[in-house]
Amino acid sequence: MQTTKERSALMRLVRGKHTKPEMRLRKALHAAGVRFRLHDPRLPGRPDLVLPGRRLALFVHGCFWHRHEGCSRTTTPKANNAYWTHKFAENIERDMRKTNQLRQSGWDVRVVWECEILDEAALGEIVRAVVATPKASR
């Protein structure tokens, strides 16, 4: 069993940007000739990938932190259950709020789940869908 200090030290190592799933998606999109911006601070929620010409914002969500429904990675720690339940509910509410703000501003918003990026076939489908997204009319 981990102590509170050990758990805190471990959680500090969790990154919000440039994660392995994000890097894998970026590499696949770049190889397909898709160019994008990263973590645009001018947009609500700072989407992980932004394709301004297509008005497309992509969020790469970790299944654990953002509660991917039905995914085996969506577990809840047994210790301090009330804290985690509250934390996850806040994450979900924030994700919905930021997505709605982007959509109201005319952006197409897509969430790409960590487990999808790890599946080679699913990653290929994601890349094809992004490539097929038409350019935004100006």
Mean pLDDT computed over 95-115: 97
CA 52 to chain centre: 17
pLDDT, tens digit, for every residue of 2-18? 777 776 666 666 666 77
Task: Give the per-residue pLDDT at 53.
Answer: 95
How many whole angstroms separate alpha carbon 23 and alpha carbon 37? 13
What is the band of 102 on the pLDDT scale with cuts at 50, 70, 90? very high
pLDDT bucket at 106, cuts 50 / 70 / 90: very high
109 contacts: CB under 8 Å, gap ≥ 6:
47, 56, 57, 58, 59, 99, 102, 103
pLDDT in tens, 26-56: 999 999 999 999 999 999 999 999 999 999 9
Give the architecture (CATH level 2) of 16-132: 3-Layer(aba) Sandwich (3.40)
pLDDT of residue 46: 96
Alpha-carbon span 112 to 110, nearest angstrom: 6
Whole-number pLDDT of residue 28: 98
Q: How confident is the model at residue 136 (pLDDT cuts 50, 70, 90)?
A: confident
Q: Tens digit of pLDDT for each residue in 50-95? A: 999 999 999 999 999 999 999 999 999 888 899 999 999 999 999 9
pLDDT on residue 79: 86
Give the up-direction half-sphere exposure of residue 13: CA atoms within 13 A in the CB hemisphere.
Answer: 6
Residue ranges per structural domain of the chain: 16-132
pTM: 0.86
